[in-house]
Amino acid sequence: MRLAYLCNVYPAVSHSFVRREIEAVEAAGNVVHRFSVRQPGAGLKDPADLSEAARTEAVLGRGVVSLLVAALVLLVTRPSRTLDAILSARQLSGPGIRQKIRSLAYWLEAAWLFRRLGQLGVEHLHAHFGTNPAAVAAIAHAWGGPTFSFTVHGPDEFDAPVALSLAAKIEAAAFVVAISSYGRSQLMRWCRPSLWHKIIVIRCGVDSSFLDATPTSVPAKSNGLVCVARLSAQKGLPLLIAACRQLRSSGESFTLTVIGDGEMRGELEADIRRFGLEDTVRLAGIMSGSEIREQLQSARAFILPSFAEGLPVVLMEALALGRPVVTTAIAGIPELVDDECGWLIPAGSEEALVEAMRAALHASADDLSAKGAVGRARVLKMHDSNANARALIDAMSDR
């Protein structure tokens, strides 16, 4: 098949799972064209992401004039379809003037994308995230463009299902992908039961660099903990810093490396200084995939105390390398993690986080390695990129 992918920002440091999926779909013999609404994200370090950036067309990178010209051409050459696209944009618009303006922008973006997809002979368009990429895909389809589908990750879509017109997007799509059973249930909440058959579960995959890696035993003398996360409110990182203060005050010896960047960096740096944790907690910034693997393999356990999630790929990556995880019992996480492969704790509980981290620091290397082995087996079974891409290709073929 000749396919296209659309994301809001692609490639992006936190969206490597999209790249892996595209690579697997291509490896199965399909042609895939990449589109990003906005220019690829800054701070890319991974060579694979840099390569993807060179292959990706940014819709807004064409400039406003190109988008306006595309819309005017379609108004003249496809007047009835242009009306359909206008009605689609209106239906997908949330309440309020700001949402109406955004919907107009999506309409213009869809005009350019529709013409470009036609030039490339694209048969099906798949969007990642049920936010603006799904809206642009739906409007392009209303203009007479290819069938489309989209993957919903959460939690953003579940925070504003009405404003994002999730029900209308599901109705217009050929099918919709949820990355967990929990995610599917949330989509089912917001559309008619007659549409539930469109919503399928295809889990995110881990690439071969993790799946094929030979898992190493947890270093017996390691007291290092690792967290890989965007520095944003939903990840619960201020709680993690507070838990580190408690642990160190009680005499525990350990280090925590936080990999990632985001809008809360300044606040977290201030907390680290305020608690005197400069020698214990390090904000390492963005790292490449190989650097992250090295950090995980030298660590005792992986920590992610999120408040809101879909099903984080970083949990799959840590478990694939045989590292047990400490994380929260929210969203799709319990579908992968339980006490056999780590510590599953209530979200928002500093005390529970402290006790789980303490347990990880005091567990024997053999116990930690045993938990890691269980987790790796689950990832191999449920999160193989190639196997999950085949399921997605089958859904596209049946559209």
Residue 389 has pLDDT above 70, yes or no: yes
Please state the rounded mean pLDDT for residues 239-245.
Answer: 98
Tokens found for residue 147: 């069938």
pLDDT at 44: 79
pLDDT at 239: 98
Write out the E strands in 202-319: 224-228, 255-259, 281-285, 301-304
pLDDT at 255: 98
> pLDDT digit string (tens) for 22-57?
999 999 999 999 999 999 867 777 788 889 999 999
pTM for this entry: 0.92
Q: Which residues pair with 224 in a beta bridge?
A: 255
Residue 68 has pLDDT above 90, yes or no: yes
> pLDDT digit string (tens) for 179-212?
999 999 999 999 999 999 999 999 998 878 888 8
Residue 107 has pLDDT above 80, yes or no: yes
Assign 131 a pLDDT band (cuts: 50, 70, 90). Answer: very high
H/E element holding 127?
strand 124-128
Q: Which residue has the tokens 């073929």?
A: 397
Provide the CB-side half-sphere exposure for 339 (13 A, CA): 4
Better-predicted residue by pLDDT, 68 or 20? 68
pLDDT at 220: 78
pLDDT at 141: 98
Question: What is the spatial distance between Cα 108 and Cα 102, in angstroms, rounded to a whole number?
Answer: 10
pLDDT at 49: 87
pLDDT at 100: 86
> pLDDT digit string (tens) for 209-231?
888 888 888 887 889 999 999 99
Residue 390 has pLDDT above 80, yes or no: yes
pLDDT at 249: 97
Assign 16 a pLDDT band (cuts: 50, 70, 90). Answer: confident
- Percent over 90 (pLDDT), the chain: 85
pLDDT at 41: 67
**26 within 8 A of 56, measured Cβ to Cβ:** no
Residue 99 has pLDDT above 90, yes or no: no
pLDDT at 84: 97
Assign 97 a pLDDT band (cuts: 50, 70, 90). Answer: confident
Better-predicted residue by pLDDT, 127 or 386? 127
Residue 396 has pLDDT above 70, yes or no: yes
**Angle formed by the axes of helices 79-92 and 97-120, to 10°?**
140
- Work out the angle at residue 260's Cα, subtended by the Cα atoms of residues 255 and 264, and round it to the nearest 5 degrees: 95
pLDDT at 302: 98
Domains of the chain (ranges; CATH) run 2-205+384-397 (3.40.50.2000), 208-382 (3.40.50.2000)
Residue 176 has pLDDT above 80, yes or no: yes
